[in-house]
Structure 1
Amino acid sequence: MKSLLYALTLLFSFTFPALASPPATFTEAKVVAKQKVYMDQASSAMGDLYCGCKWTWVGKSGGRIDAASCGYQTRKQQNRAERTEWEHIVPAYTFGNQRQCWKNGGREHCVDDDPVFRAMEADLFNLYPAVGEVNGDRSNFNYGMVAGNPGQYGQCSTKVDFVQRAAEPRDEVKGLVARTTFYMYDRYKLSMSRQQQQLLMAWDKQHPVSAWEKERNRRIASIMGHANPFVTGERKWTANYKPQGSGVVQAAPAAVPRAQAKPSLASAGSAGSAGSAGAVLGNRNSHVYHLSVGCPGYAQVAAKNQVTFATEGEAQAAGYRKAGNCR
């Protein structure tokens, strides 16, 4: 009976319209993930990513952990242990460090000026609710096999080794974690160490795709416009796998129209006061503006996010701030 109901649910869910476009920012992605992907998972048997805890939704995208539902015991940070946080399965630090923007100014700079980073940060396949304390403890550590540390979080079997800087998730999600990591490295053409590849390939083999992982993939695909090919079986990560990088191409900034590429003579002589339309270009997502001269990010604002101002004063009056990397 349960299998019949599940099949009917899948059939019916295909009739729901997909979103017009994937979320453009991490903030938006968290809300969409709650409403469209994990809306019914707060009380499911699967629970949160690392501990299988149930939770109660709070606000737009937050949650309150039910520690008794999973036997969770706080290690150190009580406030974070009581709430859900949105874990990037592949940490923002990890994928950000492979972008030039991170080297130029860290995460904030990447959010302001790199559309590929914003796409990675908001990619729904890489997001999952998790106990805040475990999310914080995992930090940007690679996944690994952790010897010892039993009962670190009570009955939660995820373990973190702070000395070796490694995190071993519970068995129930090792396959999901591996296939999500493959997806991110493949889609955004990232570089992975051989040791990490070998571990994740082993987890992929040992822990096949579950019914929930298939459903999660279907829900996210209806929003993102594409599935995770490592879940559907279209692709298989091997030791010599070459990442495709399709997400890098799709997230690349559109060319700035020629009329906006150069300021008029008047604007060139007035150092960002009154100038031609397009001499001040804002990003409606980050609320950061760039000048056509002296701001490297000017040519990197995606066409759909562009808003032009005649002067810096006009941009500031609209609530925009100048990009931090302008010379």
Structure 2
Amino acid sequence: MKKLIYVLTLLLFVSQTALADPPSTFTEAKVIAKQKVYLDQANSAQGELYCGCKWTWVGQSGGRIDPNSCGLKARKQATRAQRTEWEHIVPAWTFGHQRQCWQNGGREHCVDDDPIFRAMEANLFNLYPAVGEVNGDRSNFNYGMASAIVPQYGQCKTKVDFEQRAAEPRDEVKGLVARTTFYMFDRYNLSMSRQQQQLLMAWDKQYPVTPWEQERNKRISAIMGHPNPFVTRERTWTAGYKTVGDGVISSLPGKTAGAKKTADASAPAGKIIGNSRSHVYHLPEGCPGYAQVSSKNQVTFASESAAQSAGYRKAGNCK
């Protein structure tokens, strides 16, 4: 019986992986996150990440905050407080600074030349809608305790300690941000301070997985091809934990060290290429612009229907 269950589980995992189509860029990830993970969550009880606010969707992946739903008051930036932004729970600055590409030219250089950074930047597990002002105030600060800080955003319970460069999220998401952080550091072989580990281990224990976190994990797993093992409890972060690094890949398809970069170098063969600036997509055959999309603007899709679902239209010069 145990053997049968194992086989069925393995077959389910293989089938999910085969059908998975993870986003290849941050721009693509935001659109997919809206459509396939959070579309029905704008008016849900849990709300956005930091304040629990409800919102209405605007455009391809944006939103407008309903401040009355959460008692939100702007601290300084009223305009930014009115919109949702996509928060990297583990900031791009944090994982970028552990990549050589960042030292060689910052985030833009990493996007162009480092496939691991691109995978981290577009990882759906690490993205969550958040109040824009709070997202901006959190910046690249680590999570921490901000007990001495008085409320800064009305009834919003998240607090930012600018002096100590730390952000304490509301209790309702402390477990989620801890398990997301464990996942990112584990999957991409990142180094975490002992102090940060201790805090997040405490949050992981104190705030167990919620039904929404389980559902979120399920939705993202179907797209990414794997779950967050710290949500499913296949893995547990403990003192001295050794990271697995199962998300580390070697190099970009079609690139070699020192080779001159070509416009379609990062696009897998046969994939449909979209332009994140124009929201136009090109087929590998019959579309003159296929090889002319700048690598930093490329979004790849497995099918035309996937491109159209993400809000892209076919280039007018395709035959």
- TM-score category, normalised to shorter length: 0.7 to 0.9
Match in the other structure for 1:68: 68
CA gap of 1:281–1:230, structure 2 versus 1, over 3 A, is same
Q: Secondary structure at the match of 1:40?
A: helix
Matches within 5 A, 1:251-290: 252-254=251-253, 256=255, 281-284=261-264
Matches within 5 A, 1:17-28: 20-28=20-28
Match in the other structure for 1:88: 88
Residue 171, structure 1, aligned to residue 195, structure 2: no
Give me the whole-angstrom Cα distance separating, in 1, the residues matched to 2:79 and 2:32.
25
Match in the other structure for 1:9: none
Q: Which amino acid aligns with 1:242?
A: K
Give me the whole-angstrom Cα distance separating, in 1, the residues matched to 2:107 and 2:223.
25
User: Deviations along 1:147-179, whole A, 9 cap, x unmatched?
Assistant: 222221110000000000000000000000000
CA contact 1:175–1:203 (8 Å) conserved in 2: yes
RMSD over aligned CA atoms reads 2.8
CA gap of 1:319–1:223, structure 2 versus 1, over 3 A, is closer
CA contact 1:65–1:82 (8 Å) conserved in 2: yes
User: Deviations along 1:114-157, whole A, 9 cap, x unmatched?
Assistant: 01000000000000000000000000000000022222111000
* Deviation (angstroms), 1:318: 3.1
Give me the whole-angstrom Cα distance separating, in 1, the residues matched to 2:79 and 2:207.
32
Give me the whole-angstrom Cα distance separating, in 1, the residues matched to 2:23 and 2:157.
32
Residue 101, structure 1, aligned to residue 101, structure 2: yes
Give me the whole-angstrom Cα distance separating, in 1, the residues matched to 2:115 and 2:17.
26
* Deviation (angstroms), 1:221: 0.1
Size of the aligned set, in residue pairs, is: 266
Give me the whole-angstrom Cα distance separating, in 1, the residues matched to 2:293 and 2:170.
45
Q: Secondary structure at the match of 1:87?
A: strand
* Deviation (angstroms), 1:21: 1.4
User: Deviations along 1:80-129, whole A, 9 cap, x unmatched?
Assistant: 10000000000000000000000000000000110100000000000000
* Deviation (angstroms), 1:283: 4.4
CA gap of 1:261–1:92, structure 2 versus 1, over 3 A, is closer
Give me the whole-angstrom Cα distance separating, in 2, the residues matched to 1:81 and 1:19.
38
Give me the whole-angstrom Cα distance separating, in 2, the residues matched to 1:191 and 1:176.
19
Give me the whole-angstrom Cα distance separating, in 2, the residues matched to 1:186 and 1:144.
20
Q: Secondary structure at the match of 2:57?
A: strand
Structure with the greater relative contact order (CA < 8 A, sep ≥ 6): 1 or 2?
A: 2
Q: Secondary structure at the match of 2:212?
A: helix
Match in the other structure for 2:292: 318
Structure (1 or 2) with the larger CA radius of gyration: 1
TM score, norm. by length of structure 1? 0.76
User: Deviations along 1:245-285, whole A, 9 cap, x unmatched?
Assistant: 11013x643465xxx899xxxxxxxxxxxxxxxx854244x
User: Deviations along 1:213-261, whole A, 9 cap, x unmatched?
Assistant: 0000000000000000000000000111011111013x643465xxx89
Matches within 5 A, 1:116-135: 116-135=116-135
Give me the whole-angstrom Cα distance separating, in 1, the residues matched to 2:267 and 2:18.
22
Give me the whole-angstrom Cα distance separating, in 1, the residues matched to 2:231 and 2:97.
26
Matches within 5 A, 1:113-192: 113-192=113-192
Match in the other structure for 1:266: none
CA contact 2:145–2:168 (8 Å) conserved in 1: yes
Matches within 5 A, 1:192-271: 192-249=192-249, 252-254=251-253, 256=255
Match in the other structure for 1:274: none
Where in structure 2 are there 5+ consecutive unaligned residues? Answer: 1-15, 274-287, 297-319
Taking only the aligned residue pairs, the percentage that are identical comes to: 72
CA gap of 1:321–1:187, structure 2 versus 1, over 3 A, is closer
